Structure 1
Amino acid sequence: MTKTHHLIHSDLCDFHATPSLGNKKYVVTFIDDAFRYCYVYLLYSKDEALDKFKIYKQQVELHKNELIKVLRTDRGGEYYDPVYFESTGIIHQTIAPYTPQQNGVAERKNRTLKEMVNSMLSYSGLSEGFWGEAMLTACYILNRTPNKRSKNTPYELWRKRVPNLSYLKVLDCRAVVRLTEPKRKTLGERGVDCIFIRYAEHSKAYRFYVLESNDSVSVNTMIESRDAVFDEERFTSIPRPRDMIHQSSSKRTNEAEDVSGGASYVPEPRKNTRVRKAKSFGYDFQLYLVEGIRNETISQHQYCFNIEKDPKTFSEVMASRDVHFWKEAIQDEIDSILHNNTWVLSDLPPGCKALGCKWILKRKMKVDGTIDKYKARFVIEGFRQKEGIDFFDTYAPVARISTIRLLLALAVIHNLVIHQMDVKTAFLNGDLDEEIYMKQPKGFVIPGNEHKVYKLKKSLYGLKQAPNQ
């Protein structure tokens, strides 16, 4: 006898910041009301939501021999298809206007998934482009986690068997994936350096992002494999400390011994506090701030800091352990410059000298010491220009602090809303009248044109001239 699958909750949300690796910008969830088992689909656009529901309906009803009776969503138009729902007999319930609590199951699930994604990306150091992989991983884990309604996991209620958790790994940990037999050579490397990004769908395998290419696989591609060696203490951004960051303990203890290590930096201690030596973890060190007297500890606070220096040259970038993320930041800067038609390839006229160029590379850090993003700025060596010969006027496109304060005051007076934004790549937009030539940047020299230079059409950072800004 066919059973009735009563109610499915669904919600659609978007990620405004960055498309996923597959250029998808939206996610839709379908949650069974009885078991709270969740399906997640990544979408290119909102109008795909109904198509994904049709796929979900067909799969669920086929494999569970149960019929979906009700679909509950918000009042978005992506599900509007009365003919389809009438033909299937499914009741499409929509919540009342401005009452998201009527679809609380889906709203809470999406909020939980988003918080997990933010936490995963923040802790691991992955860029925002990996949010789709993190979202699928978060759903995978939640389905195998007990909730308040039941001691059994949604997976156990849905699949009628206990999930196997022995193969779970930490997102973004480094791994060496063994090459498959057709791609393996008699001589040479038999593995490829990757990062673990999620679990493969409909396959007993892991999904990896390739960091270093070889003759068999290309960098920045995806591969699936079960044969891999994981290093869950090593990440793409900073090595993961063995203890939690910002741990504290309020229990009294008589442990007065110091933690051995080599870091010598200590802040100015507060009254009745002392600083223990920091324990080093390769590129990190941990600092212990202890409150109490010598033989009695009241509380201990542990901090983790990244002490790896930012690269100074392109060669140091290529030798860095974070070369993949530096190259991504550099490529963003180059794409912005090319998009704005900043230069043209040209021969250097007789009697002219080409200015040099360099990369300014900086890790942007969060308040907790973890890496927020990698920033690359391409600049020209304008300090080699001579005033009165190569330039006459200089200009700094910086707002006065008094101007900013005036705008804030006007916003308060007129009850206006202020939005803060961050430009990933900035551009000067200053057209040049004089002829200025620049050497080709290292690592981006065009083959066959090594002797040529770039003739600037617009300003670059570091150039001591911007007459049209």
Structure 2
Amino acid sequence: MSMATFSGKRYFVTFIDDKSRYCVVYLLKSKSEVAAKFMEYAAMAETQTGKRVKYLQSDNGGEYKSDKLARFCAERGIQQRFTPPYTPQLNGVAERMNRTLVECARCMMEHAGLGKSYWGEAVMTAMFLRNRCPTRAIHQDKSPYQVWTMKKPILANLKVFGCHAYVQVPQDKRAKFDSKSSLCRFLGYAEHQKSYRFEEVSTGAIKISRDATFMEDKFDEGPRNYNDESSVVEFDDHDEDEEKEEGKTDDDMDSSDDDNEDTRSSKSNIKRHTRTQSLEKATVIPSPKRRTYRGPSLEHVSAAAMDFEAAYIVDSVGETPTTFKSAMESSDSGKWKEACDSEFDSLQRNDTWEIVPLPKGRKAIGCRWVFRVKENQDGEVERFKARLVAKGFSQKFGVDYEETFAPVAKFTSIRVVLSMAAKYGLMLHQMDVKTAFLNGSLNEDIYMDQPDGYLDATQPDYVCKLKRSLYGLKQSPRMWNQTIDGFMIKMGFKKCESDHCIYIKRDDQDMILVVLYVDDLILASSNNELLKSTKMALSKRFEMTDLGELDYFLGMEIKNDRKTGMVTVQQTKFLKSVLTKFGMDNSKPVKTPQDPGLKLTKNMCEQECKHEDTMCNVPYRSAVGGIMYLMVATRPDLAAAVGSLSQFSSDPCPTHWQALKRVLRYLQAVEKTAAVKKTPRQAASSVEASGRPSFAIPVGTGMYQ
């Protein structure tokens, strides 16, 4: 580094576990210390995980080719792998990590107004935050820390780097009239201790303490004003071609995978990616074109929340390819190319477009490739998927589209169909439509740029005139619904007047019901031959996947036991995910969702002073949304609680949050299965309903006033 840390360190080396992407950083005075630090790291990794280090992948730096390191690796059976000269992209995991750490550290130092001599503390803090941020490379929606330690990280104690804090002076080190605390700067988190690192402002001494009062909006250059509405936030112009703005070095750094797929897939392997970094060789990244956007006031957003979000954003970039170019330059380029070829062939088979010159006065919309790694129920990689998506946000109303509305089946209707299946002993099956939107025909003339990687060599300046509704277009859902609706009517089905996504067909004494939710179908039939003929007709018209008996639909786990006449519906998996998301999976259960003695009102916010600081990071709306989905699908017993709590989503107070947490505790205790019991089978169906109305209006809600 051009400037040493307070302890004289000028370099840092990163060791990254390839499976978990857990990163360990060591600060170095010279590059000759790399061998000793790797020995230290290998001992720690093998002790903590119980697994041996098998590979050490690095660049061709001399520090990795020392005799000391070579002897150690040979004695331990560790295979060293070096990248060819001047090919940093082949060590993409380490290169991407160093860029992440440096950029995050730079932002934190700039934000705190600290000099470059604090780079060591900033890099160590960036490593601490990065290990606790989820990353797409793991494919498990977990952080590296959680995969490495098998424990969930505690994020409640995160603080803003460089902020001021008053650190308690131990009683044994102060006289009777001495100050009980000293003004310090927060420099990160202590290693191997549940404490913070501070620098005393007056003396520059480093302190380790867990007792401190933080002022997260105060720094050496004064307080930060996050509520300044005149601030200008800059965003990348996504209308421009992102690939044209990427530099060569940027592309190299974006490569997040290596070329050793066999070691990555084995759970018993621990592979290390290493790289030393010097600020004297800082990467120069060309600035993309910008457009300014005046965002809303950042009220109720604390400094800690903003810093943590920034660290997460830096970490998330570059794991899964975001452009065709980056996908083709990644170590998995062969798999991504195969996925793109499969998607392009499907588009060609469906006669999705024709290549024509762009008419005068018309503007072609863009398109992009969207990449995704699909996993099975065990979290293992199943296949690489690529989808071509039109940039529908650039469409103009009245020119490229008119109507966009498309219906889907109501949850109430789905429950009625399940109830009828229990009452009349119907068979329940499900099907899925492949590339459903491509079956819709367009009424408007829409022109789209040719997709990246598949440019017509003979007509490179031409565009695609779309014949079918491609994913991403605003009218695609409507066009697909009109197509399948017309086909269902042609087959002899009749639409339910109260729900246009429920179709029924009668054949003498037998009947079949079809529930349509975009491209997912439920088929309920009293006759097996009628069911087979309907499936055959659908498969002949559309490319379908027959999923057999109904067992999982829109997050609902469904079991149809025709022998006992019982249809059971539950959301155990989704319910557990909600409890885990909000940290209530180990909470104490309660018997009722609401406290009968508590009346929630908006006046509580006025009575509870300074609740903004405590509620700014509380995911109140997200929690209400999770509970609401349970209520709509399978838990009508939550309706009253959701109706009450949702009134305060714009400005909740701590009492409202505690009431919401009580609902989550109730979900821990209640029976998670709702059953519909079969009654004696009848020739004709009739819907019976009963209700128990209550005209009580909660006090202070303002309803019907």
Pick the structure with more helix per residue.
Answer: 2
- Structure with greater contact order relative to length (CA < 8 Å, sep ≥ 6): 2
- The TM-score with structure 1 as length reference comes to 0.48
Pick the structure with more strand per residue.
Answer: 1
- The TM-score with structure 2 as length reference comes to 0.32
